C-alpha cells in the first residue's frame, strides 16, 4: 500500500475517534438542522406573501378601466436556495411599481418576515461554515505538525522510507476527509429537510448548484486546513501555533471584510441619499409648476354646467371622466397630451438621478468587494450568494428587467393609443357625445343615461389580453455560474499556493 494512503488512513482514524471531532459533528448537525428549519419557515412565509401579492396584482389589473390607471406591481419570487445562503435576499426588496410616471430604481420589501428570526438570528448554513466551522478546523489541525513533533511521533514516521511530501499529502488527505464527515452529514441533513418540504421545489439545476455550494465550502475549509498546516510547520510549539491561527482567523473573517468597506467609503465617497431625495423633490416641484401654469392658462368652467358629469376641477387634467360633452372631452384630451409627455420626461429625469446614485453606490461596492477578496471568507460567501441567486447582482438584474419591461409597456400603451386618445381618461366613444350647445338645450341626464354607464362600477375594464407579461425568468442561470467561476478559481489557486508554501516550510523544518 502507498505510504500516502497509510498516513492518510492513520490521520483519518485518529481524527474520527477524537472527542473534538465528535463534539464538532454534534454541534454541526444541530446548527445545520436548526438553521435550515428556521430559514425554511421564513422561505415559506415569503413565498406565501409573494403568491398573495401576485393574486392581488392580477385582480387589480383586471379592474383597470382607463389607461391613466394602468400601473403594475411586479415581484421577484423568493429564491429557494436562500434557505442555505440567505445573502441579501431579505435586505433588498422584491417588488417594484411600473408605470408611465415612474422609472423603477429600487424595490419594496414584501411582508414582515419570519417572527422566529427575531429570536433566532438569520444565520444560514454557509455563514455557519464561514465562521464557526472554519474555527473548528483550526481547533482540530493547529497541532497537526508541531504537535507530532513535540510528541516525537513525527520523527518516528520520518524514520521510515517515506518522503516529507508523502507525509504532508497523507496528512492533508486524511485530515480533510475527517473534517468533511461532519460537514457532509450536516449538508445531507439539510438536503433531506428541503426534499421533504412540499412547498420547496428543487429542480436539477438547483440541486446542481447545491452540490457546487458544498464544493465551494470544501475549498474554503481546505484553505484554513492548509493555513493551519503552514503555521504548524513554521512554529515550534502548539500553543504558539494556536495563538497565531486565532489571530489570522479574526483578520480573515472579520477585519479584512469590514476594513474593506471602510476603505471603500473613504476612497469613493458618495452623497447621502437624502441629498438625492431633495434633488428629486426639486425636479418634481418644477414639473408641478409647469402643469399648474398650463392649467391656469387653459382654465375653463363652461363645461361644468352638468351635474351628471364626473369631472375633476376646472383645469384640463383628469384621470377619469365618466361622461361629458364632446368639447369637454377634447379639452381634457388637449390637457392629457400636454401632461403625459411632461410627466414621462420628468419621470425619466428623476429615474436618471437615482440611477446615477446607484451607479456611484455600485462603484463603491465593487471597490469594497475587490479589497475584500484578500479574505477567503468573503470570497466563499460571495461564491455561495452567487450560486444561490441571493447576491446583489441578482437584485440588480431584477431592477434592470423591470426597467426594460417598462419600456415595452410604454410601447404597448402608445400602440393602443393610450397617450393620444380619450381612452386615457374615459371609456366612452367621442362620436356618441353631444356638443356643449346641444347638451344645454336637451335633457342632459336622460341623454347620458342612454349612451353611457350610470357609474364607474358599470364601466367595462380594459381589454389587456395583448399586454406584454413581465417575467423575472431564469435566463440568468449561466450568468450566475459565470460570475462565481473567477472566485472559485481564486480559491483553488489559494489552496495550491498554501500547499506549496507548506511543503517548502515542512521540507526545511526538523522532524525532532
pLDDT in tens, 182-203: 899 989 999 999 999 888 888 8
The tally of domains found in the chain comes to: 1
User: How crowded is the C-beta side of 214, counted as CA atoms within 13 Å?
Assistant: 17
72 secondary structure, DSSP code: E
CB 375 within 8 A of CB 252: yes
Confidence of residue 507 (pLDDT cuts 50, 70, 90): confident
32, three cell numbers? 445545520
Nearest to 318 by CA among 67, 24, 46, 132: 67
Question: SS3 helix, strand, coil % of the chain, rounded to 5?
Answer: 70, 0, 30
pLDDT in tens, 100-139: 999 999 988 876 555 444 444 467 889 989 998 999 899 8
In sequence order, the β-bridge partners of residue 75 are 95
Determine the average pLDDT of the residues in 485-493. 92
In whole angstroms, how far apart are CA 306 and each of 212, 230, 442, 446?
Answer: 70, 90, 11, 12
| CA dihedral of residues 164, 167, 170, 175 (deg, nearest 10) | -120
Asked whether residue 230 is domain-assigned, the answer is yes
Give the pLDDT score at 310: 41
Asked whether residue 240 is domain-assigned, the answer is yes
d(CA 330, CA 316): 9
Burial of 500 (0-12, 13-18, 19+ CB in 10 A): exposed
pTM of the model: 0.86
Q: Is residue 406 predicted with pLDDT exceeding 90?
A: yes
Burial of 239 (0-12, 13-18, 19+ CB in 10 A): exposed
Asked whether residue 205 is domain-assigned, the answer is yes
Asked whether residue 51 is domain-assigned, the answer is yes
Give the pLDDT score at 353: 94
Give the pLDDT score at 319: 85
Give the pLDDT score at 146: 80
Q: Is residue 158 predicted with pLDDT exceeding 80?
A: no
- Domain holding 240, by residue range, is 3-270+477-508
Confidence of residue 316 (pLDDT cuts 50, 70, 90): confident
Asked whether residue 401 is domain-assigned, the answer is no
61, three cell numbers? 389589473
Within 10 angstroms of residue 329's Cβ, the number of other Cβ atoms is 21
Cell 387634467 maps to which residue?
317
Asked whether residue 169 is domain-assigned, the answer is yes
Determine the average pLDDT of the residues in 427-448. 66
Asked whether residue 266 is domain-assigned, the answer is yes
Helix (H, G, I), strand (E, B) or coil at 237: coil
Asked whether residue 483 is domain-assigned, the answer is yes
Q: Is residue 147 predicted with pLDDT exceeding 80?
A: no
d(CA 78, CA 63): 27
pLDDT in tens, 56-97: 999 999 999 999 999 999 999 999 999 999 888 878 888 999
Nearest to 309 by CA among 321, 300, 327, 296: 321
Give the pLDDT score at 339: 94
Within 10 angstroms of residue 361's Cβ, the number of other Cβ atoms is 14
User: Which residue did the predictor score with more confidence, 403 or 506?
Assistant: 403
Amino acid at each position: 500500500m502507498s505510504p500516502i494512503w497509510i498516513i492518510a488512513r492513520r490521520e483519518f482514524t485518529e481524527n474520527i475517534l477524537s472527542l473534538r471531532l465528535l463534539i464538532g459533528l454534534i454541534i454541526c448537525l444541530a446548527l445545520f438542522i436548526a438553521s435550515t428549519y428556521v430559514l425554511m419557515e421564513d422561505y415559506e412565509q415569503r413565498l406565501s406573501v409573494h403568491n398573495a401579492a401576485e393574486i392581488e396584482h392580477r385582480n387589480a389589473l383586471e379592474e383597470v378601466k382607463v389607461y391613466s390607471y394602468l400601473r403594475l406591481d411586479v415581484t421577484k419570487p423568493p429564491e429557494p436556495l436562500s434557505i442555505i445562503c440567505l445573502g441579501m435576499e431579505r435586505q433588498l426588496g422584491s417588488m417594484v411599481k411600473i408605470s408611465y410616471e415612474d422609472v423603477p430604481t429600487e424595490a419594496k420589501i414584501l411582508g414582515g418576515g419570519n417572527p422566529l428570526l427575531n429570536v433566532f438570528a438569520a444565520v444560514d448554513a454557509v455563514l455557519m461554515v464561514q465562521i464557526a466551522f472554519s474555527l473548528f478546523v483550526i481547533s482540530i489541525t493547529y497541532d497537526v505538525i508541531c504537535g507530532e513533533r513535540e510528541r516525537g511521533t513525527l520523527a518516528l514516521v520520518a524514520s521510515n522510507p517515506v518522503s516529507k511530501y508523502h507525509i504532508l499529502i497523507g496528512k492533508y488527505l486524511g485530515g480533510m476527509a475527517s473534517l468533511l464527515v461532519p460537514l457532509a452529514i450536516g449538508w445531507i441533513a439539510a438536503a433531506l429537510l428541503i426534499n421533504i418540504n412540499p412547498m420547496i421545489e428543487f429542480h436539477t439545476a438547483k440541486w446542481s448548484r447545491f452540490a457546487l455550494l458544498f464544493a465551494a465550502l470544501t475549498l474554503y475549509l481546505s484553505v484554513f486546513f492548509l493555513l493551519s498546516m503552514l503555521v504548524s510547520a513554521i512554529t515550534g510549539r502548539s500553543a504558539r501555533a494556536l495563538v497565531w491561527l486565532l489571530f489570522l482567523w479574526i483578520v480573515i473573517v472579520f477585519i479584512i471584510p469590514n476594513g474593506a468597506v471602510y476603505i471603500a467609503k473613504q476612497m469613493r465617497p458618495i452623497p447621502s441619499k437624502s441629498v438625492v431625495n431633495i434633488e428629486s423633490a426639486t425636479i418634481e416641484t418644477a414639473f408641478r409648476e409647469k402643469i399648474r401654469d398650463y392649467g391656469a392658462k387653459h382654465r375653463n368652467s363652461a363645461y361644468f354646467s352638468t351635474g351628471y358629469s364626473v369631472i375633476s376641477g376646472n383645469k384640463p387634467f383628469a384621470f377619469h371622466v365618466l361622461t361629458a360633452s364632446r368639447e369637454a372631452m377634447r379639452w381634457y384630451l388637449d390637457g392629457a397630451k400636454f401632461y403625459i409627455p411632461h410627466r414621462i420626461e420628468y419621470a425619466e429625469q428623476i429615474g436618471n438621478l437615482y440611477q446615477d446614485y446607484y451607479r456611484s453606490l455600485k462603484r463603491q461596492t465593487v471597490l469594497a468587494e475587490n479589497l475584500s477578496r484578500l479574505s477567503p471568507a468573503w470570497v466563499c460567501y460571495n461564491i455561495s450568494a452567487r450560486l444561490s441567486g441571493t447576491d446583489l447582482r441578482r437584485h440588480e438584474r431584477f431592477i434592470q428587467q423591470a426597467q426594460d419591461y417598462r419600456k415595452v409597456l410604454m410601447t404597448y400603451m402608445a400602440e393602443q393609443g393610450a397617450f393620444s386618445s380619450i381612452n386615457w381618461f374615459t371609456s366612452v366613444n367621442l362620436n356618441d357625445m353631444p356638443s356643449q350647445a346641444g347638451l344645454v338645450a336637451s335633457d342632459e341626464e336622460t341623454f347620458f343615461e342612454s349612451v353611457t354607464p350610470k357609474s364607474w362600477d358599470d364601466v367595462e375594464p380594459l381589454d389587456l389580453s395583448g399586454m406584454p407579461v413581465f417575467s423575472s425568468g431564469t435566463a440568468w442561470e449561466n450568468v450566475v455560474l459565470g460570475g462565481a467561476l473567477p472566485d472559485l478559481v481564486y480559491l483553488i489557486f489559494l489552496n495550491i499556493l498554501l500547499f506549496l508554501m507548506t511543503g517548502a516550510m515542512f521540507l526545511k523544518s526538523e522532524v525532532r
